[in-house]
Amino acid sequence: MESKLSTGTTTVGFIVKDGLVLATERRATMDYFIAHKVAQKLYEIDRYLGMTTAGLVGDLQVLVRYMRAEAALYRLKNKKYMSVKAATTMISNILNQTKYMPYYVSLIIGGWDTTGYHVYGIDAAGGAIEDRYVSAGSGSLFVYGVLEDSYHEDMTLDDGINLAIRAVNAAMKRDSASGDGIDVAVITEKDGFVKIDDEEIKRRMKKLKILL
């Protein structure tokens, strides 16, 4: 079980002074084989809610569809957006109910609601823990090394984007299951979920002196 649940991916989410940052890389592997170089691991669930995914692609895609549908239904029925805690509880219940034939996933859910910004790490059995920063996947050890050294709660959104790029890049350099580009999104009370375009990420990498 443990070997199957070791997800070959790097994902991260953390809260900053004026928003929340989510980031992943793009490589999908099958053992030592690089199966895809354009895998999507960063998703908008609703305007103020995002999710990163690590694990089996089929399981992850199904869970993203579930969450998007449930968030939309909640918004239609209640005339408001689902809170981050409610979304986390829902996905945790789905995972826990199938723990004997589990989804092989490790998730991060983050977003904004009327109580502020929140980010949760969620394991395959449905365990959910809220923190200021969370990383998942085989590259998470390298991400945590960067975050422990450089993260602080008062950093700006702009600095947070740069930190996410640095952290994922560090994992890509040392984790063979991570690579082939970086995806970053931010969530703010004003603008909701906004994905950073590739050219902006390349510009920031150049400024940070990170080799492409």
Q: What are the structure tokens assigned to 92, written together?
A: 């945790």
Name the active-site residue from 9, 10, 24, 88. Answer: 9
Q: How far is CA 83 from CA 68, 110, 119, in A?
A: 13, 10, 11
Q: How far is CA 118 from CA 34, 161, 201, in A?
A: 33, 17, 24
Q: How far apart are CA 160 and CA 32, in angstroms?
A: 32
- Clarify whether 10 is annotated catalytic: no
Q: What are the structure tokens assigned to 138, written together?
A: 């085989």
Cβ-Cβ contacts under 8 Å for 129 (sequence gap 6 or more)? 120, 121
Q: How far apart are the first and last CA of the chain?
A: 36
Helix (H, G, I), strand (E, B) or coil at 79: coil
Active site residues: 9
